[in-house]
Amino acid sequence: MLAPGVLLTTVSHPLFSDQRIIKPFKNSFEPYGRGNIEINKPINIGDNVWIAAYSVICGGVTIGKNSVIGAGSIVTRDIPPNVLAMGTPCKVVREITEEDRILDDYFNGI
C-alpha cells in the first residue's frame, strides 16, 4: 500500500561536479557532451508493505515483506521484514508482533 504523496526515486547523480555538468564536445554538432551522468538503482518492495504518506524511498533500497514505513520517512537504507520503521533518515523502531493485531472484539461494538 502506498499512501498519498509517496515518492519512489531511483535516479541519482555523481558527487563530483565535473561529472554533473554538461560540457559539449569540441568541434561537434552533438547536443550533449561529457558530464550529466545519471545513476539509476532499483527499489525492491516486499509483499504486504505499507508506506505511509509523504515518505521518500531512494534508489538501491529494499523494504522487507510485511514492514510499515511511517509517514514522512526518508528511506536511504534497507529495511528488514516485519518491522515498523520511521524517521529521517528512516530507522527500525521495533518488530511488528502479535500484540499489534487489532482483535475482532474491537469491531463488535461498531
User: Cβ contacts of residue 76 below 8 Å, gap of 6+?
Assistant: 58, 61, 89, 90
CA 10 to chain centre: 8
- Cell numbers given for 19: 561529472
Q: Across the chain, how many H-helices and E-strands are there?
A: 1, 11
Q: Phi/psi class of residue 87: alpha, beta or left (left: φ > 0; alpha: ψ in -120 to 50)? A: left
- Residue 110 annotated in active site: no
Active-site option among 5, 9, 13, 23 = 13
User: Which residues are marked as active site?
Assistant: 13
